Amino acid sequence: MNETEERAAAKELSESLGFRLIDDDDWMFDENGERVSACGTHWLLLSGHDDARLDKLIRYGQWRRATEIIIKQLWHRCVALATEKAKHNATHREIQRKLSVAASGVIIGSLAVPLLLEALHLVNTH
């Protein structure tokens, strides 16, 4: 499972679940207005859905440690499952595409066979 697939799965999950873990790409502003990484002090983002102003960052230690561990482990397992599901769906689509091409070949072939047989019959009679 590569990083791009994991990020896509995590993005899709966060949109449907309304929360996600903080990662290295998340930034916030400190008391001086300087942009700093959010992953040093926060671990979870509760989504404000369509309004980013309603997003809520959860600090380390704000919730019980056991709760943090359970949520993190469940998140990682959900991302892994979503990534596998996406791979499975892509494989399924590829198989469907190949079957469609094969079916098209069979249909075209079935239309062409009578013409070929007729042409061969004409060649053999001459």
Q: Is 35 helix (H, G, I), strand (E, B) or coil?
A: strand
- DSSP label of 32: T
Quick one: 115 exposed, middle or buried, by C-beta within 10 A (0-12, 13-18, 19+)? exposed
Q: Kindly list the domain boundaries of the chain, sorted by start residue.
A: 3-125
Res. 10 pLDDT band, cuts 50 70 90: confident
pLDDT score at 67? 93
21-71, pLDDT tens digit by residue? 887 777 776 667 777 777 788 888 888 877 777 888 899 999 999 999 999
73-105, pLDDT tens digit by residue? 999 999 999 999 988 998 999 999 999 999 998
Res. 125 pLDDT band, cuts 50 70 90: low
pLDDT score at 7? 82
pLDDT score at 1? 57
- Return the closest-CA partner of residue 60 out of 37, 45, 46, 41: 41
Place of tokens 């998140």: 75
Q: Is 108 helix (H, G, I), strand (E, B) or coil?
A: helix
Whether residue 109 has pLDDT greater than 90: no
